[in-house]
Amino acid sequence: MKDTLVHKLDSGEARIGIIGLGYVGLPLALRYLAVGYSVLGLDIDPHKVNRLMKGESFIRHIPSEPLQEGVQQGRFQATTDFSRAGEADALILCVPTPLDRHREPDLSFVVNSLEEVLPAMRPGQVVSLESTTYPGTTDEELRPRIEAAGFKTGRDVFLVYSPEREDPGNPAFNTRSIPKVCGGVTPECLEVAMALYGRVIDQLVPVSSTRAAEAVKLMENIFRSVNIALVNEMKTAFMKMDIDIFEVIRAASTKPFGYMPFYPGPGLGGHCIPIDPFYLTWKAREYDVATRFIELAGEVNTSMPYYVVQRAMEVLNDFGRALKQARILLLGLAYKPDVDDDRESPTYKIMHLLEQKGADVSYNDPYVPVIKPSREYAHYAGRRSEQVSGEYDLVILCTAHKEYQNLDPADLGVPVLDTRGFFADLTGRVFRA
Q: Could you list the active site residues?
A: 272
The CA distance from 210 to 197, in Å, is 15
Q: Please calculate the CA angle 87-37-200 and round it to the nearest 5 degrees.
A: 125
The CA distance from 76 to 358, in Å, is 50
DSSP state of 140: I
Tell me the HSE value of 49 on the side-chain side, using a 13 A CA sphere.
16
Q: Which of these, 35, 28, 32, 58, lies nearest to 45 by C-alpha position?
A: 58
Q: Which of these, 21, 58, 63, lies nearest to 39 by C-alpha position?
A: 21
Q: Which of these, 111, 121, 122, 44, lies nearest to 78 by C-alpha position?
A: 44
What type of residue is 91? L
SS3 (DSSP) at 99: strand
Four-point Cα dihedral 315, 230, 273, 311, nearest 10: -10
> In Å, how far are 76, 232, 258, 421 from 255, measured between CA atoms?
49, 21, 7, 20
Q: Beta strand 90-93 with 15-19: parallel, antiparallel or unpaired?
A: parallel
DSSP assignment of 32-62: HHHTT-EEEEE-S-HHHHHHHHTT---STTS
The CA distance from 67 to 61, in Å, is 13
The CA distance from 215 to 234, in Å, is 28
Residue 109 · residue 97 · CB < 8 Å: yes
> In Å, how far are 153, 218, 375 from 2, measured between CA atoms?
11, 30, 41
> In Å, how far are 12, 160, 216 from 181, measured between CA atoms?
21, 10, 8
Q: Please calculate the CA angle 197-200-201 and round it to the nearest 5 degrees.
A: 75
Q: CB-based burial of residue 28 (10 Å sphere; 0-12 exposed, 13-18 middle, 19+ buried)?
A: buried
Backbone angles phi, psi at 340, to 5 degrees: -100, 20
